[in-house]
Amino acid sequence: MNIMLLGAPGAGKGTQAAKLVDAYGFAHISTGDILRKAVANQTPLGLAAKKYIDAGELVPDMVVIGLVKARLQEPDAEKGFILDGFPRTVIQADALGRALQELHKKLDAVISIDVDKGVLIKRLTGRRMCAQCGAIFNVVSQPETGNGVCPACGGSLMQRDDDTVTTVTNRLDVYERSTAPLIAYYRDKGVLRRVDGNRPAESVFSDVRAIVEG
Ligand code: AMP
């Protein structure tokens, strides 16, 4: 099954994607993760992308479209994939449609995770990510992570540079302007499913699971 997770920054796309990988073994395709890795490794892609990421702006469409097209052709995408954070614009969505057609694949479901803006801001500014294993936590809902140590692997918990209040506000504006129109785009294509993402991750996942198994 091929799924796209749609939702604002902080909606829980990464968390739900990780649960889907655990439960079903799908390939996880996160453009944010690919770009952050490139920035950390100081590759030409990373050097070009850093200024957009730090400002909370979108990296140019052509750059991310190229990345995803290549990633979709890797062998692990055969067993089904989860797109997380892509597409984020109508141009990207159109390009994805064409790429999938060429590869004789299709999106089976676009799951929109709907979360109120106040909840998103709290989640994003409290979000911490393990520098070692990439697991995601929140210092507000998981006070045991307040010591900066990853409960999963003992690594150091870091705040993403783009999770500061100013950048978060811009990322949410960019989402409303550029990405939210994809809700209507995929509704018109008949593949949109919606889940209430204001709840704990486990409750959201039981709805996501029902969609996958439905
Ligand atoms: P994310 O981890 O998905 O929130 O992505 C972090 C940042 O990476 C975004 O704020 C953008 O700067 C960049 N990015 C990730 N995915 C895309 C995309 N599909 N199109 C453009 N920029 C992206």
Across the chain, mean pLDDT equals 95
**Per-residue pLDDT at 212:** 96
**Per-residue pLDDT at 141:** 85
**Per-residue pLDDT at 166:** 87
Give pLDDT tens digits for 118-143. 999 999 999 999 999 999 999 988 99
- pTM beyond cutoff 0.85: yes
Residue tagged active-site, from 36, 123, 128, 171: 171
Ligand 1 first shell, C-beta below 6 A = 9, 31-32, 35, 52-53, 56-59, 64, 85-86, 88, 92, 162, 171
Active site residue 160: yes
- Choose the residue to mutate in 88, 124, 161, 167 for probing ligand 1, maximizing ligand atoms within 8 Å of C-beta: 88
The alpha carbon of 58 and the centre of ligand 1 are apart by a number of angstroms equal to 6
> What domains lie within the chain, and their CATH numbers?
2-116+178-213 (3.40.50.300)
**Per-residue pLDDT at 81:** 98
Give pLDDT tens digits for 129-183. 999 999 999 998 899 999 999 999 999 999 988 998 889 999 999 999 999 999 9
Active site residue 36: no
What HEC string does the chain produce? CCEEEECCCCCCHHHHHHHHHHHHCCEEEEHHHHHHHHHHCCCHHHHHHHHHHHHCCCCCHHHHHHHHHHHHCCHHHHHCEEEECCCCCHHHHHHHHHHHHHCCCCCCEEEEEECCHHHHHHHHHHEEEECCCCCEEECCCCHHHCCCECCCCCCEEECCHHHCHHHHHHHHHHHHHHHCHHHHHHHHCCCEEEEECCCCHHHHHHHHHHHHHC
**Per-residue pLDDT at 140:** 84
**Per-residue pLDDT at 161:** 87
Q: Which atom of ligand 1 is nearest to the CA of 36?
A: 8
Residue tagged active-site, from 160, 194, 199, 209: 160
The alpha carbon of 182 and the centre of ligand 1 are apart by a number of angstroms equal to 15
**Per-residue pLDDT at 22:** 97
61-72 and 90-102 helices, crossing angle to 10°: 30
Residue tagged active-site, from 36, 71, 88, 128: 88
Active site residue 187: no
What number is the average pLDDT over the span 3-21? 96
**Per-residue pLDDT at 59:** 98
